[in-house]
A = this chain, B = another copy of it.
Amino acid sequence: MSTAEETTGGEVEPWDEVTPDAARRLLVAAVEAFAERGYHATTTRDIAGRAGMSPAALYIHYKTKEELLHRISRIGHEKAVAILRTAARGEGSATERLADAVSSFVRWHAGRRTTARVVQYELDALGPEARSEIVALRRQCDAEVRGIIEDGVRAGEFDVSDVKGTTLAVLSLCIDVARWFNVNGPRTPDEVGALYADLVLRMVGAG
């Protein structure tokens, strides 16, 4: 287990792979600054200052502000794909795998909501190349959930007439947790995950 594991939601920080330490600190500072003020209102000087570094030190690791957003977005989306893939390729029935996908995806969006908001709301700020890379990762997220729903329909576990639309709605419901989730609110990430797994199983007509 990582020492960066959070108390809320029990999720591991997604930045462990970023080295050296200065590059990771800058990434964390950029997430906070983008979340607070928005991408366009944040300067590389702001980000360096938050990380306790000089603008010159930032440029050793990231050539532009967009490179920081791109890196954050790629790591965030790769983590999302990994969570959904692990659930989709598990051993249980489609019902069990869909419940697992939804509860773990919800826990991630509740526990890492600051990162998730930046990743979701600042997509338009990416250049065309970075954007198409991220869009490909988003299609993989979609494909993992759609795969479970198709399995469930084939196995007679689910009753779904619009598989694509239902997949979209399931992902959307989980992603929006990042917008409204409040650590001081009455529900833990685990509780929201359990509730949402139940609601999604109803959406697909399970059991």
Measured CB to CB, the residues of A under 8 A from B are 37-41, 120-121, 162, 165-166, 168-169, 172-173, 175-177, 179-180, 187, 192, 195-196, 199, 202-203, 205
Contacts and interface: CB of A to CB of B under 8 A. Distances in A.
Contact of A41 (B38, B169, B179, B196): B38
Given A120-B179, A176-B176, A166 B199 contact: yes
Contact of A172 (B120, B162, B180): B180
Contacts of A172: 173, 176-177, 179-180
Contacts of A180: 168, 172
A91 B196 CA distance: 30
Given A175-B176, A203-B203, 13 more contacts: A37-B38, A37-B41, A38-B40, A38-B41, A39-B41, A120-B179, A165-B187, A166-B199, A169-B199, A172-B179, A173-B176, A176-B176, A176-B179
A199 B200 CA distance: 9
Contact of A196 (B169, B175, B176): B169
